[in-house]
């Protein structure tokens, strides 16, 4: 399974990224 590119928060497509728990967790850890 190909890994999608993680867009910066606020960019278009962010909502699609947050639909994936794995990616959402990564963004959450980076946001702390």
The predicted-structure confidence for 10-23, as pLDDT tens digits, reads as follows: 555 555 655 666 66
Place of tokens 């639909």: 19
- Report the predicted TM-score, pTM, of the whole model to 2 decimal places: 0.21
Handedness of CA 20, 23, 31, 14 (dihedral sign): negative
Report pLDDT for 21. 60
Report pLDDT for 6. 60
Is 16:22 a contact under the CB 8 Å cutoff? no
Q: Is the pLDDT of residue 31 over 60?
A: no
Structure tokens at 32: 């702390």
Report pLDDT for 25. 64
Percent over 90 (pLDDT), the chain: 0
């Amino acid at each position: 399974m190909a890994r999608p590119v993680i867009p910066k928060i606020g960019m278009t497509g962010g909502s699609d990224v947050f639909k994936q728990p794995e990616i959402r967790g990564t963004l959450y850890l980076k946001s702390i």
